Amino acid sequence: MSIAYGDKYKINRFATPTYYGLGGTVMTATIDPDAEIATEVGCGEGTRAIAFRKITAVRPKVSWTQNVRKLTDYLTTYALITAEGAVPAHNLALDEGGGGLHLFTDCKVNTCRITIRQMESIKAALEVLAKDRSTQTTWTFVKATEEAMYKTALTTLSIGGTPETKWQEVEFGVDNNVIQEILGVAIKPTEVGERQALYSGHIIRAVAQASLVSDVIAGTPKTIEIALTDNATTPVTKTFTFANAELRRSQVQARGLDMVIERIEWEAKTMVIT
């Protein structure tokens, strides 16, 4: 059998009996069973041998980075969740390319980060935690056919109501704080649930006006608003509003005679998508 290359690697969301794309092309991906091995040694047997070694838990997860072509349905329905305790469980079908066909069930998105840079397509980085894994049958892979989004998709960026046009990089997302609980005699997760969500991001911009250093020092919150328009057949615009975001850093950097830049980092309690 020949070795596998990336053209054979496939990921789809699966809801019986239909397969769905992720809204973009996967660039890099990792499967990790994340096994936990318990090791114990004793002192009363006159030996240096290990007294106990066993895999006591496995916490399967899948992570990947993809470009963004469509904002619906995966990213805004399963990943960027606005309501506490509302991260939806779903299944992922994955073909690793070498004959390994996996079905990860009762998955929940742990983290999702959207990054917009000047010289590349918009990217989404996701980590998904699963409850179980079984062998999947072959399927007809559903892939994204739309054009990839890039910086022109960012139609609105404002900080405290002031439009920001001289940005260099924008990143935002959510940590859903998903946990895989091991209970009873099982080594696989008995439950996959989420705790409190944290919304955060950063903006790197050219210094063309007063920086936000004084606002950070004063503890002045700012509402961050980001609007993206996707490349679906009928384009969809989604506005992400982070009300009263706490500014945790305004880092102004000057390097020789280069452009002075400011890195603004923020955290928010809520995110509203409209």
Residues of the chain with pLDDT > 70, as a percent, come to 99
Q: What is the pLDDT of residue 207?
A: 86
Q: What is the pLDDT of residue 173?
A: 97
Q: Does the pLDDT value for residue 270 go beyond 90?
A: yes
Residue that the structure tokens 């405290």 belong to: 160
φ, ψ for residue 55, nearest 5 deg: -75, 120
DSSP 30-62: EEE--EEEEEEE-SSSSS-SEEEEEEEEE--EE
pLDDT (tens digit per residue) in 13-23: 999 899 999 99
φ, ψ for residue 118, nearest 5 deg: -70, -40
Q: How far apart are alpha carbons 270 and 76 in whole angstroms?
A: 15
For the residues 141-159, what does the mean pLDDT come to? 95
Backbone torsion region of residue 32, taken as left when φ is above 0, otherwise alpha when ψ lies between -120 and 50, otherwise beta: beta
Q: What is the pLDDT of residue 57?
A: 94
Q: How far apart are alpha carbons 120 and 63 in whole angstroms?
A: 20
User: Confidence band (pLDDT; 50, 70, 90) for 48?
Assistant: confident
User: Confidence band (pLDDT; 50, 70, 90) for 3?
Assistant: confident
pLDDT (tens digit per residue) in 217-244: 988 999 999 999 999 999 999 999 999 9
User: Confidence band (pLDDT; 50, 70, 90) for 24?
Assistant: very high
Q: Who contacts 234 (Cβ-Cβ below 8 Å, separation ≥6)? A: none
For the residues 202-214, what does the mean pLDDT come to? 88
Cis peptide before 17 (omega within 30 of 0): yes
Computed over every residue of the chain, the mean pLDDT equals 92
Q: Does the pLDDT value for residue 1 go beyond 70?
A: no
For the residues 140-157, what does the mean pLDDT come to? 94
Q: How far apart are alpha carbons 256 and 72 in whole angstroms?
A: 44
The residue type of 61 is K
Three-state DSSP class for residue 151: helix
Q: Which of 232, 68, 80 is nearest to 151 (CA)?
A: 68
Q: How far apart are alpha carbons 202 and 182 in whole angstroms?
A: 35
User: Confidence band (pLDDT; 50, 70, 90) for 161?
Assistant: very high
Q: What is the pLDDT of residue 224?
A: 97
User: Confidence band (pLDDT; 50, 70, 90) for 257?
Assistant: confident
